[in-house]
Amino acid sequence: MKKNIVAYIERDPETKLFVAEVPGIPGAHTQAETMDELMANLKEVVELCLEGHKKNNLKLPEFVGVQEFEVSF
């Protein structure tokens, strides 16, 4: 079965690494120096996490969206 997954990606200002996580899938996070490397790493880790989900009959969360908002600090 194939499924599109949504990842949250940032660039760490100190290390300059790309950092990705998939909300709703515990353990689905990784980092890399390039986007190509990041996506390869992320695909691998998500597939491993989903194997565990499948074995335990867990459901994937439904992606709703990303919302940007302003805060004061």
CATH number at residue 45: 3.30.160.250
Q: Is 65 among the domain residues? A: no
Of 58, 20, 15, the residue nearest 36 (C-alpha): 20
**Tally of domains in the chain:** 1
The per-residue pLDDT for 2 is: 83
Structure tokens at 21: 């996580």
The per-residue pLDDT for 66 is: 85
The per-residue pLDDT for 51 is: 86
The per-residue pLDDT for 1 is: 74
The per-residue pLDDT for 62 is: 83
DSSP string, 40-62: HHHHHHHHHHHHHHHHTTPPPPP
Of 54, 55, 71, 12, the residue nearest 21 (C-alpha): 12
H or E segment and range at residue 14: none
pLDDT along the chain (73 residues), means of 10: 89 97 92 98 94 78 87 95
Structural domain including 28 reads 8-55
pTM: 0.80
Q: What is the widest separation between alpha-carbon atoms in the chain?
A: 45
Q: Is 1 among the domain residues? A: no
